[in-house]
Amino acid sequence: MESSIFNEWRWVSLSPFPWWALGLLGLALIAGFYWSAFSLKKQDGWRRGVLLGLRAASVLVLFLLLMEPGKRWMQVTKVKNRVIVLLDSSLSMGFSLAPGKQTRYQAAQQIIKSSESFWKELSTRFQVDFFIFDKNLQAINRNKIVETAPRGVMTDIANTFRQISSDSDSSRQKLAGIILFSDGADNKEWSKGLSAPDKEKLKEMNVPISVIALGEGRFKDLSVERIEGDDFAFVRNSMEIVATFRVVGFTKGSFPVALKREGQVVATRNLQVQKDGNIKVVFSFTPDRTGRFVYTVEAPVFENELIATNNSRSFTIHVIRDRVRVLMVVGRPSWDVRFLRGILKQDPNIDLISFFILRTANDDARVQSDGELSLIPFPVRDIFHDQLKTFDVVILQDFGWSNPTYPQMSQYVRGMKKYIEDGGALVMVGGKNSFGEGQYERTELQEALPVEPVGIPPGEESFIARLAKEGRRHPVMSMGLGEEESVRAWAQIPKMYGSHVVSAKPGAIVLLEHPFLTQGGKNVPVMAVGEYGRGRVLAIMTDSFWRLGFDSVALDSGFRLYDRFWNNAIRWLVRDPELTLVKVSVEKSILEPGEPVVARVSVHNPDYRPAPKVAIELDWVRSDGNQVVKQQTATANLEGIAQFQWTPLEPGPYRLVARAKKERRIIGLGENAFAVEAAGAELGNPWLQLDLLREIALATGGKLSDAKDISSIPLNDKETMQVGRIHDVPIWDHYAWLGVLAVALVLEWILRRRWGYA
């Protein structure tokens, strides 16, 4: 044995038996000894002493033989455990402890600097490592701490602890404790305090974390601390968001706070202040347009406030349709009406309001009074004036507009045109009262229609309509995954009977065309779509379209085509975001000050193929003032995509408006919105979070200390003994000891026999 390499030894048992077995054996031997002592209790004198002595010697030797004691030589290294000192270096540590006093960070620096003797003493027992942290951890020499400043834009204490644990696991040194200097103003995982699983994870670290809390709450400041609510809403449905204001240093009173959508006030409330603390305010409002919008909760900025930039907070809401409101006005009941109503009525996403003209002045219902009928007054003004804008889609089916019998209708024509221009959608479905006889060509509404009459009577021949070239990839006609599937489906439609003869206006897209009826060298459109202003129009020039929903059942092409067509058409008409030609997306909708915005614009042709090489203009608009602050241009790549980047200088709501142009003609528009926060999360909520810090200390067995006392913090073992090589030397496995046992037993037996004991 090279005894020189071992520096420690200890007694050990080399027995293969477990400790509990050895314990039981020991107890059995003691019991045996007592039993033999009991059998000799009537004997007196030295003979009894000799026999008990021999028995005790036998028992002892036997036990030692079973124990197999040995001497263990060890090569031992003693390692100091680590104490980690963490200093929060996020921006919030730059706030003063109290008005006119040093900052939190300066206070921490001062404590670390003035506790020289404490660190020295601690270093004799532990390895003391210093780190500064914000969202990341950075090792630092203690003497260099005075040269640092709080600059981190985020505080992530949970991540800091994770990094320490990970570092510790890969180290030979155990953690004896953590000393945390922080204001606890976490703005990541623990911004709302510790959850039960968080506390469990802290306990599992098995390291006491002691906290030196820095900061006081006696400033005057008003901040929007939190916004709670859905990030999407349904248009024309009331919704609520809850804003939590933190009020510190204000006297009792009230002042107005507002919710704005891109600069326009949509709701106001009064903030009633009683004392310092958090106040929740509920804002109710009803979004009236679809799209993504930036909303901002704003409170006034008061004199002497600690931070002015945290008095507002922005967020985005994606306003979508819950149900599409469809107004269906019908000139007279027909099978075309019946099947369209059936399909719209059964669609859970459609809220259908219908008005059918069931009787005209020429009809005689043969009744004594109208009380015998279920007919209701036709609410012309209600429909075409008061309520028109509440509808997403208006369907005029076989409904003539310009008619001397009800001349008051003509006064609403302009309103209908304006409705489309402002983003409404119109479907005009054939029948005698549409198009030609409907006299729309004499009204302003004709301007909005994608087709115009050519002054010849309807074609009366039956025909099977043909999918037009432009319709093959149009989403209204889509019947499957690809163009081929749509072409196949539309090739199987049943026969139709007659069609208005019209011509497509420039810009209109013909989706279905007559197979043999031509006008001006082109096949007459049977179905066409167009855009007018911000609205869309679908024109169907036949009233036998219902046959797609009924005849096709007999043809085994099923109801699916008719159902799917109307579903597609309604989605296209209401500009379902999935069907827009130009899409603008942003990586993040709420940005920190100084953060760059990356916008991606994708463009499709009207037939929904990617539009390569088109020119894209992107306006960066301050949506609260509707002012273009930056314009960029780019050319789309082969996939019809272009990427833009800019860093807005000013905080506030922004809107991105993209225009795709082909040969100087706008082929599509797309929009999106984002906001740049006035204050980042770090400065938005810089308050001392004493509860969080206390919970961290309690969960880990640490201590929450104030700045005056950091000496009595709890720490684990001061050092860890690490054993290198081991050598065991057995000392009881010699035959001599068996001999001793045998001699003791034989001698006892002989003496017993001689002295006449049993």
Partner 1 sequence: MKTMKGNMSKPASRGYGGVSRSRRQFLLRLLAGVGVGTLENQALAFGDSSKFTPAIAQHGGNWNARPNGLRRLCWEVSSRTSVEVFPQARAINLSDQALFHYPFLYFGGEGEFPAFSDREVANLRRWLTWGGFLLADANDGSVGDGFDACFRREVARILPQSPLSRLPQDHVIFKSFYLLDRQGGRLLVRPFLEHAKVGQRAAIVYSQNDLAGAWSRDLQGEWEFEVSPGGENQRETALRTGVNLVLYALCLDYKEDAVHLPFIMKRRR
Candidate residues 147, 364, 578, 663; the one interacting with partner 1 per rule CB under 8 A: 364
* Tokens 């010699």 found at: 734
- Residue 546: half-sphere exposure toward Cβ, Cα within 13 Å: 18
Question: Are the beta carbons of 677 and 684 closer than 8 angstroms?
Answer: yes
Non-local CB neighbours of 48 within 8 Å, separated by 6+ positions: 40
Which parts of 462-491 interact with partner 1 (CB under 8 A)?
Answer: 462
Phi then psi dihedrals of residue 477, to 5 deg:
-100, 0
Which parts of 513-572 interact with partner 1 (CB under 8 A)?
Answer: 543-544, 546-547, 549-551, 553-554, 559
Candidate residues 339, 412, 566, 620; the one interacting with partner 1 per rule CB under 8 A: 339
- Least distance in angstroms from the C-beta of 642 to partner 1: 47
3-class SS at 585?
Answer: strand
Binding mask 694-733 toward partner 1 (x if CB under 8 A, else -) reads: ----------------------------------------
- Quote the distance between the C-alpha of residue 23 and its chain's center: 61
Considering the complex, state which of residue 331 and residue 530 has its C-beta at the smaller distance from partner 1. 331
* Tokens 């006008």 found at: 519
Alpha-carbon span 489 to 600, nearest angstrom:
34
Stretches 38-46, 250-258, 402-410, 686-694: which one binds partner 1 (CB under 8 A)? 402-410
3-class SS at 310?
Answer: helix
> Under rule CB under 8 A, how many of the chain's residues touch partner 1?
74
Alpha-carbon dihedral angle through residues 302, 305, 308, 314, given to the nearest 10 degrees: -80
Q: Is residue 459 involved in binding partner 1 (CB under 8 A)?
A: yes
Candidate residues 196, 361, 481, 736; the one interacting with partner 1 per rule CB under 8 A: 361
- Least distance in angstroms from the C-beta of 344 to partner 1: 11
Which parts of 309-338 interact with partner 1 (CB under 8 A)?
Answer: 331-338
DSSP class of residue 94 equals G
DSSP class of residue 306 equals S
Alpha-carbon span 81 to 175, nearest angstrom:
6
Partners of 599 in beta bridges: 586, 644
Question: Are the beta carbons of 416 and 391 closer than 8 angstroms?
Answer: no
Considering the complex, state which of residue 367 and residue 738 has its C-beta at the smaller distance from partner 1. 367
Q: Which of 558, 428, 429, 538 is nearest to 477 (CA)?
A: 538
Stretches 102-110, 198-206, 348-356, 467-475: which one binds partner 1 (CB under 8 A)? 348-356
Candidate residues 16, 197, 377, 520; the one interacting with partner 1 per rule CB under 8 A: 377
What is the DSSP pairing of strand 312-320 with strand 496-499? unpaired
Considering the complex, state which of residue 355 and residue 757 has its C-beta at the smaller distance from partner 1. 355
Which parts of 609-648 interact with partner 1 (CB under 8 A)?
Answer: none
Considering the complex, state which of residue 232 and residue 497 has its C-beta at the smaller distance from partner 1. 497
Stretches 6-14, 57-65, 436-444, 687-695: which one binds partner 1 (CB under 8 A)? 436-444
- Least distance in angstroms from the C-beta of 361 to partner 1: 4
Alpha-carbon span 190 to 638, nearest angstrom:
45
- Least distance in angstroms from the C-beta of 231 to partner 1: 32
* Tokens 């699983």 found at: 197
Candidate residues 34, 35, 497, 755; the one interacting with partner 1 per rule CB under 8 A: 497
Candidate residues 21, 139, 146, 456; the one interacting with partner 1 per rule CB under 8 A: 456
Considering the complex, state which of residue 4 and residue 374 has its C-beta at the smaller distance from partner 1. 374
Stretches 129-137, 151-159, 425-433, 732-740: which one binds partner 1 (CB under 8 A)? 425-433
Question: Are the beta carbons of 682 and 187 closer than 8 angstroms?
Answer: yes
- Going 52 to 58 to 59 to 60, the CA torsion angle's sign is positive
Q: Which of 655, 620, 747 is nearest to 314 (CA)?
A: 655
Considering the complex, state which of residue 457 and residue 594 has its C-beta at the smaller distance from partner 1. 457
Amino acid at 237: N
- Residue 318: half-sphere exposure toward Cβ, Cα within 13 Å: 10
Stretches 114-122, 182-190, 212-220, 429-437: which one binds partner 1 (CB under 8 A)? 429-437
Non-local CB neighbours of 597 within 8 Å, separated by 6+ positions: 586, 587, 588, 591, 645, 646, 647, 648, 654, 674
- Least distance in angstroms from the C-beta of 664 to partner 1: 40
DSSP class of residue 610 equals B
Annotate 626-686 with DSSP letters as a single string: TEEEEEEEEE--TTSEEEEEE--SS-EEEEEEEEEEETTEEEEEEEEEEEE-SS-HHHHS-
- Angle of helix 196-205 versus helix 157-169 axis, rounded to 10: 30
Considering the complex, state which of residue 412 and residue 546 has its C-beta at the smaller distance from partner 1. 546
- Least distance in angstroms from the C-beta of 372 to partner 1: 6
Candidate residues 309, 403, 503, 567; the one interacting with partner 1 per rule CB under 8 A: 403
Q: What angle do CA 661, 662, 665 make, to 5 degrees?
A: 70
- Least distance in angstroms from the C-beta of 514 to partner 1: 12
Considering the complex, state which of residue 234 and residue 378 has its C-beta at the smaller distance from partner 1. 378
- Least distance in angstroms from the C-beta of 517 to partner 1: 12
Candidate residues 310, 499, 589, 605; the one interacting with partner 1 per rule CB under 8 A: 499
Q: Which of 256, 255, 253, 258 is nearest to 241 (CA)?
A: 258
- Least distance in angstroms from the C-beta of 463 to partner 1: 11
Alpha-carbon span 268 to 699, nearest angstrom:
42
Stretches 297-305, 368-376, 693-701, 743-751: which one binds partner 1 (CB under 8 A)? 368-376
- Least distance in angstroms from the C-beta of 235 to partner 1: 21
Q: Is residue 374 involved in binding partner 1 (CB under 8 A)?
A: yes
Considering the complex, state which of residue 70 and residue 436 has its C-beta at the smaller distance from partner 1. 436
Candidate residues 66, 67, 357, 669; the one interacting with partner 1 per rule CB under 8 A: 357
- Least distance in angstroms from the C-beta of 345 to partner 1: 7
Largest distance between two CA atoms of the chain: 150
Candidate residues 187, 310, 311, 433; the one interacting with partner 1 per rule CB under 8 A: 433
Stretches 77-85, 224-232, 498-506, 511-519: which one binds partner 1 (CB under 8 A)? 498-506
Binding mask 253-292 toward partner 1 (x if CB under 8 A, else -) reads: ----------------------------------------
Q: Is residue 368 involved in binding partner 1 (CB under 8 A)?
A: no
